[in-house]
Amino acid sequence: MEALGRQLILEYYGCPAERLNDASFVEEVMVAAAESMGAHIVCVNFHQFNPHGVSGAVVISESHLTIHTWPEYGYAAVDVFTCGTVIDPWEAHAFLKERFGATRESTVEFRRGCFDVAPGTLPSAYGVTHEDLDR
């Protein structure tokens, strides 16, 4: 199935709190992850929350990488969205898992912009629909 882009929803568990609560470290890792897959960085913005947690985005020509951390739980929620077929988001996943020191992860890949599929025929693995919520 052809798609405009690929989006990885990544959940990292068991990460050391000190890594997830350091905005400079998180930014450095996210930028390096974008570079590791050959992405072209457009802009970067990260914010340190008080008392803990970091949120940030790396906007790339090919789309984006975003993160929200909960150091108190050793948890990071990461989104890697790439357009086209040149950049492989799974390369960023391998890099991020190692650098954040995750002991466990959960991953889901979405194909975004699937125009060659008839409406209502996408399998449920592509996300929750309004009909699913009504059940």
Contacts of 1 (CB under 8 A, 6+ apart): 111, 114, 116, 117
CB atoms under 10 Å from CB of 18, counted, come to 10
Q: What pLDDT was estimated at residue 135?
A: 44
The catalytically annotated residue of 83, 93, 114, 130 is 83
Position 123 confidence tier, pLDDT thresholds 50, 70, 90: low
In three-state secondary structure terms, 34 is helix
Q: Where are the domains of the chain?
A: 5-134
Instruction: Assign domain 5-134 to a CATH class.
Output: alpha beta
Q: Can 63 be counted among the known catalytic residues?
A: yes
Q: Specify the pTM.
A: 0.83
Specify whether 68 is catalytic. Answer: yes
Residue identified by tokens 């898992």 is 97
Q: What per-residue confidence (pLDDT) applies to 127?
A: 46
Q: Which of 43, 47, 55, 68 is catalytic?
A: 68
Average pLDDT over residues 62-67: 96
pLDDT digits (tens, 9 = 90+) for 4-32: 899 999 999 999 999 999 999 999 999 99
Residues 8/16/30/79 CA torsion (nearest 10 deg): 20
DSSP state of 61: T
